[in-house]
Amino acid sequence: MNKKGILIVVSGFSGAGKGTLIKELLRRYPKKYALSVSATTRKPREGEQEGREYFFKTQEEFEKMIAKEELIEYAGYVNHYYGTPRAYVEQKLEEGKDVILEIEIQGAMHVREKFPDAVLLFVTPPTASELQRRLVDRGTETPEVIASRLQRAAEEAEGMAQYDYLVVNDQLEACVEEMHHILQGEHRKSFRNHRFMEKVKEELQQLKGE
Amino acid sequence: MNKKGILIVVSGFSGAGKGTLIKELLRRYPKKYALSVSATTRKPREGEQEGREYFFKTQEEFEKMIAKEELIEYAGYVNHYYGTPRAYVEQKLEEGKDVILEIEIQGAMHVREKFPDAVLLFVTPPTASELQRRLVDRGTETPEVIASRLQRAAEEAEGMAQYDYLVVNDQLEACVEEMHHILQGEHRKSFRNHRFMEKVKEELQQLKGE
């Protein structure tokens, strides 16, 4: 069956728990999944390691990567570039790992254009009021920040239907397994298994000739 | 999330074990799945019950069902009709059960046309020689029958790519669970969850207005 990895995009509301979900998925199935490491022009913060949190680039280096199409997608935020280097992703896919990109909807749509076989997941809590409750329960956000997060969520919600799957993060344990099952199921799609089908066909032709 | 059942078509090589697979799936998850009961014009055999093995019909009754479009698909084999009654399938789907049709490729393609949201699974052993081994191991088939089964499998193999998923039946236990995961994953497809998405959007609009 399909040995090559699948490119996986994970988006979702801020507060939906997608970071925790991805971290737990990688912890449980380290041989199956890899997390894409982004490139950025911002300076490393204390404790951040080259190639672990980010690939740190100068603006000139980053713009060269853009020009040479070495990035799957990129965007500028507050004077800095962030992007997904193609080489790392393709290397992991070749190794047979599913590579997870945690990006926002604009990036997700670019990935789909360039990689039509990518699988797009949108992480959501079971209800919007649960999202609000989680943002409030953090206890670190001002009412203004919570309001702006909900405003942003309302915008992001308009894009949900563009994703292949909705992952409802109610109980973390169950949700990690569900995500794993969705992704393993994707490996069984017939369009991802042309080589397997050709082999079965050839072998049947030989057997019936015997 | 998606409460309505999904129409599932299961096809596969004779000897691939799809009957056992479906039976085991129904036994483990009786609340989630239902098996479609076919209508036929052949006479009941001993022990067969109306509505359990088949819905038994006269030729006239069956042809009326065809005329009134009460069958999802039908075919004639050796002087008898066999078909899938729409009413039973739709009732089970409304009850929230995924309904399994065990049919061949021509029927499968008709189902896809009429029900574009149906999920089509093709059951195959890991290799063609394993298929041959299983047919031989039954010990009940003549070499001629085995040869004709392999001939037929070679024809059926041409249609594999038309299915959504390939289910590789190597170990029964693992395969039943894999099939279950594929089908549960399908319930998470965003296009099956319009109502959920609308609800989240509406709720977010209300919350940000508060």
Give the other-Cβ count within 10 Å of A90's Cβ: 14
- List the single best residue of A188, A192, A195, A197 to mutate versus B (max B Cβ within 10 A): A188
Q: What is the pLDDT of residue B137?
A: 87
Q: For residues A149 and A147, what is the distance between their CA atoms, to the nearest angstrom?
A: 5
Cβ-defined contact of B128 to A163 (cutoff 8 Å): no
Of A185, A188, A204, the CB nearest to B157: A204
The percentage of residues in chain B with a pLDDT greater than 90, rounded to a whole number, is 80
Do residues B210 and B58 lie in contact, with contact meaning Cβ atoms separated by under 8 Å? Answer: no
Mean pLDDT of B1-19: 90
Q: Which residues of A touch B122 (CB under 8 A)?
A: 190
Note whether A2 and A196 are within 8 A (CB): yes
CB contact under 8 A, A203 and B151: no
| Radius of gyration of chain A measured on its C-alpha atoms | 20
The amino acid present at B136, given as its one-letter code, is: V
Confidence bin at B111 (pLDDT 50/70/90) = very high
Q: How far is B155 from chain A (nearest CA, A)?
A: 9
* Shortest Cα–Cα distance, B95 to chain A (Å): 22
Question: What pLDDT is stored for residue B121 in this prediction?
Answer: 98
- Name the strands in the sheet holding B71-77, side by side, starting at the edge strand that comes first in the sequence: B54-56, B38-40, B80-85, B71-77
Q: List chain B residues with CB under 8 Å of A191.
A: 161
- Type of residue found at B36: S
Tell me the average pLDDT across B158-177. 96
Do the chains contact at B165 and A188, CB–CB below 8 Å? yes
SS3 A126: coil
For residues B93 and A148, give the distance between their C-alpha atoms in angstroms, rounded to a whole number. 41
Q: What does the alpha-carbon distance between residue B193 and residue B2 come to, in Å, rounded to a whole number? A: 5
Q: Are strands A38-40 and A80-85 parallel, antiparallel or unpaired?
A: antiparallel
Give CATH for domain A7-36+98-209: 3.40.50.300
The amino acid present at B62, given as its one-letter code, is F
pLDDT per residue over B180-203, tens digit each?
Answer: 999 999 999 999 999 999 999 999
Residues of chain B with C-beta less than 8 angstroms from the C-beta of A149: none
Residue A11: both structure tokens together: 């988006």
In this predicted structure, what is the pLDDT of residue B71? 95
Strands annotated E in chain A: 7-12, 33-35, 38-40, 54-56, 71-77, 80-85, 98-102, 119-124, 165-168
Of A166, A185, A188, the CB nearest to B190: A166
pLDDT at B146: 87
Nearest CA in chain B to A124: B200
Q: Do A207 and B168 touch (CB under 8 A)?
A: no
Q: Which of A100, A136, A95, A88 is nearest to A25 (CA)?
A: A100
pLDDT values of chain A reduced to their tens digit, one per residue, 210 residues: 668 899 999 999 988 899 999 999 999 999 999 999 999 999 999 999 998 889 999 999 999 999 999 999 998 877 899 999 999 999 999 999 999 999 988 889 999 999 999 999 999 999 999 999 988 888 778 888 888 889 999 999 999 999 999 999 999 999 999 999 999 999 999 999 999 999 999 999 998 877
Nearest to B57 by CA among B70, A96, B47: B70
Q: What is d(CA B172, CA A152) in angstroms, rounded to the nearest whole number?
A: 47
The reported pLDDT for the residue numbered B14 is: 85
Angle at A3 between CA B126 and CA A206, to 5 degrees: 40
Tokens of B28: 């483990």
Nearest beta carbon to residue A157 from set B154, B181, B204: B204
Q: Which helix (H) or strand (E) holds B71?
A: strand B71-77
The CA-CA-CA angle for residues B69, B74, B75, to 5°, reads: 140
pLDDT tens digits, residue range A23-75? 999 999 999 999 999 999 999 999 999 988 899 999 999 999 999 999 999 98
Residue B171 has a CB neighbour count (10 Å cut-off) of 11
Residue with tokens 């737990």: A24
What end-to-end distance do the CA atoms of chain A give, in Å?
26
- Does an H or E element contain B17, and which? none
Nearest to A129 among B157, B201, B203 (CB): B203
Give the C-alpha distances (Å, rounded to integers) separating A189 from A2, A105, A210, B10, B43: 9, 24, 31, 14, 39
Confidence grade of residue B83 (pLDDT, cut at 50, 70, 90) = very high
Length of chain B: 210
Contact A201 B164 (CB under 8 A): no
Domain ranges of chain A: 7-36+98-209
pLDDT at B142 > cutoff 80: yes
Who among B128, B167, B201 is closest to A204 (CB)? B128
What single-letter amino acid sits at A106? Q
